[in-house]
Amino acid sequence: MVDPYFVSGELKIWSTRTNNISMLLSGHKDSINTVRYSPNGQLIATASKDKTVKLWDTQSGKEVGLYQSNASIELLAFSPNGKQLVIGGSDGKIYLLSIE
């Protein structure tokens, strides 16, 4: 389950078995707008008002990728094979990011 309150720039992943936080992903400097899991479940993508997209390893919780934009990121979508990420900004621009 994903915590819907992203105001702090942190994402809390909760365990439904223990009802406790199982992972805390922190690093954004502003609130998180959207979160997506990759199709294979190995990555989490977070997009923030701080104009960044961060990729996180779901096993370790470590940041494994960073994309800097010129605008707040409002939309994320993984391609079906998980090798690309569609990024939409508040400036109306859409980017396709290769994450291989």
**By residue range, what is the domain housing residue 41?**
30-98
Give per-residue pLDDT as tens, 72-97. 988 999 999 999 999 999 999 999 99
- Using DSSP's 3-state secondary structure scheme, residue 25 falls into strand
Give per-residue pLDDT as tens, 21-71. 888 788 888 888 899 999 999 999 999 999 999 999 999 999 999 999 999
| CATH number of the domain where residue 47 is located | 2.40.10.480
Q: Which residues pair with 68 in a beta bridge?
A: 52
pTM: 0.84
Q: How many domains does the chain have?
A: 1
> Could you tell me how far CA 17 lies from the centroid of its own chain?
23
The answer as to whether 21 is a domain residue is no
Strands (E), the chain: 10-14, 21-26, 32-37, 43-48, 52-57, 63-68, 73-78, 84-89, 94-98
The answer as to whether 69 is a domain residue is yes
Task: Tell me the CB-side half-sphere exposure of residue 14, using CA atoms within 13 A.
Answer: 9
